[in-house]
Amino acid sequence: MSNFWTRTITGLSMVFIMLAALWFSGWVFALIFLVVTTLGLWEFYGLITNENCHPQKFFGTLAGVLIYAATAIINLSPLMSNLSQQVWFVFIPFIIPIPLFFLSFVFEIYRNKPNPLMNVATTTMGFLYIALPFSLLLYFNRPDVIHFHGMPVILVGYFAFTWLYDTSAYLYGKQFGKHKLFERISPKKSWEGTVAGTAVSLLAAFGLHFLVPELPLINWISLACLVIFFGTFGDLVESLFKRSLNIKDSGTILPGHGGILDRFDTMLISAPFVFLYFFFQQAI
């Protein structure tokens, strides 16, 4: 089977699983992304571990899981419904990393590994770069956000724009891409693919507003633009990491796509900005 069809089958399977989880239960979706978060953290720490860098792999992974789990409980548990009405609850995933950051210094004292500051920095980077963005997605899956046929509108739109932008940019750029977007970091990405992905995403924004007018058109367009702009940088950031490590893919767990970081790289940078936009719009 060609890489194209392998990539397509894997991608469609992931789309089906995500949409089914969103429709079925917020807890099912949270559980799926807990697995994604755990695998992503383990993959990240495995990639950067070498003779000069020894991140606290177990602690970093557990810290990321704690950030994610606490955010899921706050957003989805009926027992926390009163708490979720208070403004400060949105800062929980930002507050929890603070003591974890200082604990990583304490644990490093007992490890006797070279380059302790590098070890602490990469450990902290793992749960901030991976666990925090995935945790913020849970705010769009709360019972009180806009739903359409049982599915959270903003989160479905976010995934739709991410998939449409990535897929259309990849397909069009592969066939017609001539002008490199950022050749030093990602030689295969082109301006032609970026423009095609942007056009498809913006058209989808108008279509989704027609389908779900409860969310204003400006919010649909803003969501698409945030995914396009920061998602592109998310892709480039991950490409920069891989280039610095001299690897092609972050892993092999997803046939045709590579690793968890390869598949979800656009979300790691875009999710915090999407969260902030809708927080200030008072939509979450």
The residues with which 151 forms a beta bridge, in sequence order, are 148
The pLDDT mean for the chain works out to 88
Do the beta carbons of residue 33 and residue 17 sit within 8 Å? no
Smallest Cα–Cα separation from 284: which of 136, 145, 95?
145
Q: Is the pLDDT of residue 80 over 70?
A: no
- C-alpha 71/C-alpha 68 separation (Å) is 5
Question: What is the tally of structural domains in the chain?
Answer: 1
Rg of the chain taking only CA atoms, in angstroms: 19
Handedness of CA 130, 135, 140, 141 (dihedral sign): positive
C-alpha torsion angle, residues 72, 74, 77, 79 (rounded to 10): 160
- C-alpha 258/C-alpha 7 separation (Å) is 9
Instruction: Tell me the per-residue pLDDT of 14-33, one tens digit each, with 9 for 90 and over.
Output: 878 888 888 888 899 999 99
Mean pLDDT in residue range 199-218? 94
Provide the domain limits for residue 39: 3-280
Do the beta carbons of residue 162 and residue 231 sit within 8 Å? yes
- C-alpha 104/C-alpha 102 separation (Å) is 5
- C-alpha 263/C-alpha 278 separation (Å) is 24
Phi/psi of residue 258, nearest 5 degrees = 110, -125
Do the beta carbons of residue 139 and residue 159 sit within 8 Å? no
Q: Which of 18-22, 186-190, 228-232, 279-283 has the highest mean pLDDT?
A: 228-232
pLDDT of residue 17: 84
Lowest-confidence segment of 11-20, 146-155, 159-168, 185-194 by average pLDDT: 11-20
- C-alpha 188/C-alpha 178 separation (Å) is 9
pLDDT of residue 88: 60
134 confidence band (pLDDT: 50, 70, 90): very high
